[in-house]
Structure 1
C-alpha cells in the first residue's frame, strides 16, 4: 500500500515530479536515519509560514560569516513616464561570493571539479 500511495502522490497535482525526485524523496528523506514520521504530527503547510514570522524580535544568527544588511531595489512600473518604485528588503542575509568560491575549492569534493574547457 505504501508504494501505491507514493506513486499516486507522484502522479497527482504538479507534473514536475520526476522519478529521480521521487527516488530522492524515498532514499534521502523517508529512509534517512533521522527521519521520524511522529515529528509530522500536527504538521501543516501553515507551520512553514510561522517560521517566517519574528514576533519575538529575537535575532537569528547565521554561521560562517553571513552578512546582514538592508537592500533597496528599484522596481519598474508599467509607464515609461513614471519613475521606478523603490522597495527595501530589511535584514537581508548574504554570504560574500569570494568566500563561497574559496570554501568550494577547499572542500574535499573539489578534486572532482571539471576546470578545463572543452569544445
Structure 2
C-alpha cells in the first residue's frame, strides 16, 4: 500500500496498481496515434516504391518506411497489452508484450540486413 502522493495528510490509501493505472481515453489516443504514425510510414513506403527512379533509392525508401511503420504499429499493440495488464492483472498480457518487443527487435535487425543483401545483389 502506498500513501497519498501529496504532502498533505491523507486518510485514504492508494494501491500501486491505482497509481500506474492509465486513463482509458489516454490509452485510446496513444494507440490511435501510434497506428496513425505507422500507417503514414507504410503509405510513404508505398509512394517511395513508385516515385523513386532506380532500385537503390526505392529499396532505401521502402525499407526505412516499412521498418518504422511496423515498429509504430507494434508499439500500439504494446500499449494496448500493458493497459490491459494494468486493468485486469492477467499475466498473459505481459507475455504478449514480451513477444511483441522481441518481434520489434527482430524487425530492427532483419529489415536493414535484408535490404543490404538485396542491394548488393542488384
TM-score normalized by the length of structure 1: 0.22
Q: Which has the higher contact order (CA 8 A, sep 6+)?
A: 2
Bigger radius of gyration: 1
Q: Name the structure with the higher strand share.
A: 1
